[in-house]
Amino acid sequence: MTTERLVTKLDHEGPISVLTIHRPDKLNALNRQVIAEITAAAEEVWHRPGVHVLVVTGAGDKSFVAGADIAEMRDMRLEDARAFARAGHAALDALEALPIPVIAAVNGFALGGGCELALACDFIYASEKAKFGQPEVKLGVIPGFGGTQRLLRRVGNAMARELVMTGAMIGAEEAHRIGLVNKVFAADQLMDAARATAKTIASMGPLAVAEAKKVMREGEGRLLKDANVLEIEGFAGCFETEDQKEGMQAFLERRSPSFGRA
């Protein structure tokens, strides 16, 4: 089934795609329609030849995603809430499962579902104006789109517990200090920086980048000795690809490699 794009934009810029959450009048809050469109965008990017990096951001200069839409959630009953959480998890799982790197360019508030959306990306670049938090306990609920799980994997158990249990909001520099954010930029430089990194990644061997993401994702949480087996097999498998042959030959010939981009 095709989902009509009403509250997101998906732009393709050669090897880079940019997904923008576009509800600026609602600070880009996540409702059922946004969640469905994120799922559909992930599917479109997955099947679009030649896309090697996805950047996710929010419309305007105030908010990445301010959270889930409280007006939509307020009157939910048990089964409604369960279905809503499952849909949110499915959307963010679809982003996380993409075989290409996904960069969050956080341009403002990333609270609740917005923080969870950023956490589903491979790494986060933030505007100096960005604010992060999981304030759900202030509303009498807990994070429902993966915040209790992805946050602790990103910043550690104790810090995640503090953020979730206090509902605290932190700025970009503090988010950087605790390892939630990779880099902080001036607001007017954020998207240029995200695109520059995306272009760098897109110039690398695409099969190797995909394999690196796969191995790191599958190895997370495993015993080191078991995770290292994944690396050995992933490394060896690269030697069955044309990218490996071209990359190493180019190095020996002191030229830039010309990787396949299908």
CATH of the domain at 55: 3.90.226.10
Domain that includes residue 218, residue range:
206-252
72 is catalytic: no
Q: Binning pLDDT at 50, 70 and 90, where does residue 2 land? A: low
Are residues 42 and 126 located together in one domain of the fold?
A: yes
Please tell me the total count of domains within the chain.
Answer: 2
| 189-247 per-position pLDDT tens digit | 999 999 999 999 999 999 999 999 999 999 998 999 999 999 999 999 999 999 999 99
Q: Are residues 146 and 183 in the same domain?
A: yes
Residue 44 has what pLDDT? 97
User: 171 and 246: one domain?
Assistant: no
Q: Note whether 79 and 157 are same-domain residues.
A: yes
Mark whether 14 and 123 lie in a shared domain: yes
**pLDDT attached to residue 1:** 46
Active site annotation includes 136: yes
Residue finishing a domain among 202, 226, 244: 202
Same domain, yes or no: 197 and 241 = no
Per-position DSSP letters for the chain, written without gaps between them? -PPP-SSEEEEEETTEEEEEE--GGGTT-B-HHHHHHHHHHHHHHHHSTT--EEEEEESTTTEEE--B-HHHHTT--HHHHHHHHHHHHHHHHHHHT-SS-EEEEE-SEEETHHHHHHHTSSEEEEETT-EEE-GGGGGT----SSHHHHHHHHH-HHHHHHHHHH--EEEHHHHHHTTS-SEEE-GGGHHHHHHHHHHHHHTS-HHHHHHHHHHHHHHTTS-HHHHHHHHHHHHHHHTTSHHHHHHHHHHHTTS-------
pLDDT digits (tens, 9 = 90+) for 139-189: 999 999 999 999 999 999 999 999 999 999 999 999 999 999 999 999 999
Q: Of 37, 44, 116, 233, which is the active-site residue?
A: 116
Res. 16 pLDDT band, cuts 50 70 90: very high
Q: Please tell me whether residues 244 and 192 are part of one structural domain.
A: no
Q: Which of 72, 136, 211, 233 is catalytic?
A: 136
262 has a pLDDT exceeding 90: no
